[in-house]
Amino acid sequence: MTTDTQTLDEVAVSRWLEANLPGFAGPLEVTKFQAGQSNPTFLLSTPAHDYVLRRKPPGVLLKSAHAVDREFRVQKALAGSQVPVAKMHLLCEDESVIGSTFYVMDHVPGRNFNDPTLPELEPKQRAEVMDEMNGVLAALHEVDINAIGLSDYGPPGNYFERQVARWSKQYRASETEKQPDMDQLMQRLADNLPEDDGQRTLVHGDYRIDNMIFDTYGTACRAVLDWELSTIGHPFADLAAVIMQWQMPVGAEGRGLAGVDRKTL
């Protein structure tokens, strides 16, 4: 068992997969994905197949954070739907194996775009990627949550009120010193909540282009990733996350399009 988030006990993982995943055969090679993740993610390579292991970080965590079990559940439920997701294999909640809960899914080959200006693509392909992104989001919000067994995946009530309360609480729990600007922001959000209009759909919670895998040479989405914040909520929240990109700063920190002439893209 290890509490290191940068490495993985290859022997323990291989032994567990051999005992629990039909068809698995080593030798196993483990490589950590270097992109920033709240849940450490590793590529598991074997001679016959590539998998991905995603784990909850070990140690003391904020309540309800890093819910890899929910990620596994929602992606497994979406299998066969119009929302492309990786194939889920196994969820392990026995923390004695590697020190925290983890799940294993198929590795989905393809391209991942971190810069929404998509400089590596021609203008026609850029438009196709954005259309695909919007189409997948529409498909997500059209999913029948009752039919796929996710009617209990989130509580009833005003989703926006719930989100403001949750993130305000999370902020307070990790606060190191008082920030008057943050206090004012949280109060302003709480005072200006939209009314609950009754719309309830599956929402991703962090829908953006760098949480998607696209065809290696085409523009079709192969998989939507990072479902940690998914729940039952209001579809406008995901839409707002997409539109917010237009106001976020360009570069690695904001990954946005602020100041970019979108007509030239």
**144/41 same-domain check:** no
**155 neighbors 162 (Cβ within 8 angstroms):** yes
Confidence of residue 227 (pLDDT cuts 50, 70, 90): very high
- Would 180 be classed as within a structural domain? no
The answer on 130 and 81 residing in a single domain is no
Closest alpha carbon to 98 in 23, 28, 50: 28
181 within a domain of the structure (yes/no):
no
Q: Does residue 219 contact residue 129 with C-beta atoms inside 8 Å?
A: yes
Q: Is residue 57 part of a domain?
A: yes
* Number of structural domains found in the chain: 2
Angstrom CA distances, 1 to 31, 53, 101, 201, stand at 18, 15, 12, 39
- The answer to whether residues 46 and 102 belong to one domain is yes
- Tell me how far apart the alpha carbons of residues 7 and 11 are, in angstroms, rounded to a whole number: 12
User: For 138-195, how does the pLDDT look when each residue is reduced to its tens digit (9 = 90+)?
Assistant: 999 999 999 999 999 999 889 999 999 999 998 998 889 999 999 999 999 999 999 8
Per-residue pLDDT tens digits for 112-138: 998 999 999 999 999 999 999 999 999
Write out the two tokens for 162: 């719930």
Residue 19 structural domain:
10-106
| Domain closes at, from 75, 106, 137 | 106
- The CATH number for 35's domain is 3.30.200.20
- Asked, for residue 166, whether it belongs to a domain, the answer is no
In a domain, 250, yes or no: yes
Residue 62, number of CB atoms within 10 A of its CB = 10
What's the pLDDT band for 1 if we cut at 50, 70, 90? very low
Does any domain span residue 173?
Answer: no
Name the 3-class secondary structure at 192: coil
Q: How far is CA 231 from the centre of its chain?
A: 11
In a domain, residue 168? The reply is no
Per-residue pLDDT tens digits for 196-220 = 899 999 999 999 999 999 999 999 9
* Weakest-pLDDT range from 17-26, 45-54, 235-244, 254-263: 254-263
Please check whether residues 142 and 256 belong to one and the same domain: yes
Burial of 91 (C-beta count, 10 Å sphere; 0-12/13-18/19+): middle
Q: Does one domain contain both 34 and 90? A: yes
Say if residue 131 is in the same domain as residue 204. yes
Q: What CATH number is given to the structural domain containing 247?
A: 3.90.1200.10
- 130 Cβ contact list (under 8 Å, min separation 6): none
**Is 165 within a domain?**
no
Of 76, 21, 81, 74, the closest CA to residue 51 belongs to 21
Same-domain check for residues 135 and 259: yes
pLDDT, mean of residues 224-253 = 91
Taking the CA atoms of residue 150, residue 152, residue 154 and residue 157 in that order, the dihedral angle to the nearest 10 degrees is 130
DSSP type of residue 105 = E
Mean pLDDT of the chain: 91
Are the CB atoms for 54 and 41 separated by under 8 Å?
yes
